[in-house]
């Protein structure tokens, strides 16, 4: 019993607001029915080709990028809370508009607008979590947020798999209601955390907060490891973009007429593995550095996604999800703590947008490139290529790990 309780040690003793954010993310994720099925919406409901679907998915990611940059700047100037609430409400408005549309390009454009608004709000979430925690608490806080999202997502994916074919409008309605509930929790129970506007938060900021006058680019130049890390993470995002893009297309091609249900079950499996695996993996790797965990995650990404280039059975799909989800957990609980622990508090909002922009370019490139490769070479070659890309990035992460270890040795010598 004590061993089980020890799994939750990283989540104890944090500020009350962290648990409110966890609850908000859980409820919001319970309604995350639409975006995971964007690929099938474009291909099955609207009838676009693999290449066309990839282009629209990529365009959505491309629009998300400048929105995130704007959001990071606004989070550091206006404050975390108002940016989060205003732009998530605009996302809800976009979803509401979709309730009155039939599947078509107008619906796609509305969803792209919703993605942009979520992009503006995103950096505020990450900055708020960093503001509320100490470096020692940060890993547990981001892990808890990740756990909460997937706790709700497990329910959402199972439900969406059964609703997608005949009840698309019900999916939008659920998304709207849960989003409003999540926003309400932040609005009423989480204070503004911007260091300059909150004395209690200001007492927790890092010693390097005096760099507030410097530009984000100056900060990056003075911390080249962050830039190298983002470039290496590009490959991780490239291959992970195949989870919502290539995976559902492959499922439908391998099991015609049953692909949406299979993908829904795979999504539920992914979320359940995250829910039960995150506390275990967080506890087991507690003594490993963030960059070492990310390296291990890359190894699992290479194996998990590459597996589908060799086998095309239901068992292979579920085994692939099991393996790459373990890698996803390692990457997810380590990336933002690594970034925030190397970022001055005055630049957390902007760094939460600039580095994910570089890393997220993999999400943009992934569907575009793999959509074209898929049309020319088929699924097997596409999966092997994606696995090869993330293998290169995994080796790069190992290089950063060795460099960081060497620097630590020199500093302690």
Q: What's the pLDDT at 3?
A: 60
Q: What's the pLDDT at 2?
A: 58
What distance in Å separates the CA atoms of residue 400 and residue 343, rounded to the nearest whole number? 17
Number of H helices, E strands in the chain: 17, 0
Rg, Å, the chain Cα set: 20
Structure tokens at 256: 């015609």
Q: Is the pLDDT of residue 35 over 90?
A: no
- The length of the chain in residues reads 413
What distance in Å separates the CA atoms of residue 349 and residue 120, rounded to the nearest whole number? 11
Average pLDDT of the residues in 42-55: 79
Q: What's the pLDDT at 408?
A: 65
Q: Is the pLDDT of residue 200 over 50?
A: no
Structure tokens at 75: 């989070």
What per-residue string of b and e applies to 100-116 under the rule 16 or more CB within 10 Å gives b? ebeeeeebbebbbbbbb
Structure tokens at 276: 């039960």
What distance in Å separates the CA atoms of residue 38 and residue 333, rounded to the nearest whole number? 26
Residue pLDDT, tens place only, 293-347? 999 999 999 999 999 999 999 999 999 999 999 999 999 889 988 888 877 776 7
What distance in Å separates the CA atoms of residue 334 and residue 88, rounded to the nearest whole number? 25
What distance in Å separates the CA atoms of residue 378 and residue 397, rounded to the nearest whole number? 29
Residue pLDDT, tens place only, 136-177? 788 788 888 888 887 887 778 778 777 877 788 888 899 999
DSSP state of 215: -
Q: Is the pLDDT of residue 239 over 60?
A: yes
Q: Is the pLDDT of residue 267 over 60?
A: yes
Identify the CATH number of the domain defined by range 8-208+216-412. 1.20.1250.20
The answer to whether 163 and 40 have CB atoms below 8 angstroms apart is no
Would you report the helix, strand and coil content of the chain in percent, each value rounded to 5? 85, 0, 15
Q: Is the pLDDT of residue 197 over 70?
A: no
Which candidate, 407, 375, 370, 406, places its Cα nearest to that of 388? 370
Q: Please give the span between the terminal C-alpha atoms of the chain, in angstroms, as a whole number.
A: 42
Q: What's the pLDDT at 4?
A: 59
Place of tokens 């995350």: 32
What distance in Å separates the CA atoms of residue 231 and residue 43, rounded to the nearest whole number? 31
What distance in Å separates the CA atoms of residue 312 and residue 303, rounded to the nearest whole number? 15
For residue 131, give the 3-state DSSP assignment. Answer: helix
What distance in Å separates the CA atoms of residue 300 and residue 296, rounded to the nearest whole number? 7
| Surface-to-core class of residue 275, CB atoms within 10 Å of its CB (0-12 exposed, 13-18 middle, 19+ buried) | middle
Q: What's the pLDDT at 136?
A: 78
Place of tokens 């990450």: 126
The CA–CA distances, whole Å, from 255 to 52, 152, 248, 249, 252 equal 22, 27, 10, 10, 5
Q: Is the pLDDT of residue 195 over 80?
A: no
């Amino acid at each position: 019993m004590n061993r089980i309780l020890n799994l939750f040690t990283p989540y104890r003793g944090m500020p009350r607001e962290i648990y409110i954010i966890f609850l908000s993310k859980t409820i919001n994720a319970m309604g995350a029915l639409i975006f995971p099925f964007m690929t099938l919406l474009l291909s099955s409901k609207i009838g676009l080709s693999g290449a066309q679907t990839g282009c629209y998915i990529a365009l959505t990611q491309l629009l998300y990028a400048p929105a995130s940059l704007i959001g990071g700047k606004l989070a550091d100037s206006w404050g975390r809370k108002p940016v989060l609430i205003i732009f998530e409400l605009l996302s809800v408005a976009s979803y509401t508009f979709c309730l009155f549309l039939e599947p078509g390009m107008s619906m796609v454009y509305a969803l792209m607008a919703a993605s942009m608004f979520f992009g503006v709000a995103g950096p505020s979430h990450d900055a708020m979590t960093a503001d509320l925690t100490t470096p020692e608490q940060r890993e547990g806080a981001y892990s808890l947020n990740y756990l909460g999202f997937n706790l709700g997502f497990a329910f959402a994916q199972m439900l969406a798999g059964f609703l997608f074919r005949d009840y698309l409008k019900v999916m939008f309605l659920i998304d709207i209601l849960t989003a409003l509930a999540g926003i309400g929790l932040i609005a009423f129970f989480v204070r503004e955390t911007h260091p300059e506007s909150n004395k209690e938060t200001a007492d927790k900021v890092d010693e390097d907060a005096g760099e507030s006058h410097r530009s984000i680019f100056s900060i990056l130049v003075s911390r080249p490891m962050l830039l190298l890390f983002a470039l290496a993470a590009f490959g991780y995002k490239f291959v992970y973009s195949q989870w919502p893009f290539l995976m559902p297309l492959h499922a439908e091609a391998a099991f015609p007429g049953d692909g949406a249900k299979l993908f829904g079950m795979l999504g539920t499996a992914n979320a359940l593995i995250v829910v039960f695996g995150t506390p275990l993996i967080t506890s087991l790797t507690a003594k490993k550095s963030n960059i070492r965990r990310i390296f291990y995650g890359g190894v699992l990404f290479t194996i998990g996604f590459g597996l589908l280039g060799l086998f095309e059975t239901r068992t292979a799909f579920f085994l692939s999800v099991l393996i790459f989800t373990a890698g996803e957990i390692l990457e997810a609980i380590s990336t933002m703590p690594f970034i925030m622990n190397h970022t001055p508090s005055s630049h957390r909002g902007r760094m939460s947008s600039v580095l994910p922009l570089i890393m997220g370019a993999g999400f943009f490139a992934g569907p575009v490139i793999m959509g074209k490769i898929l049309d020319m070479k088929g699924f097997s070659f596409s999966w092997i290529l994606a696995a090869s890309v993330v293998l290169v990035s995994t080796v790069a992460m190992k290089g950063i790990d060795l460099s960081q270890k060497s620097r630590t040795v020199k500093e302690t010598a």
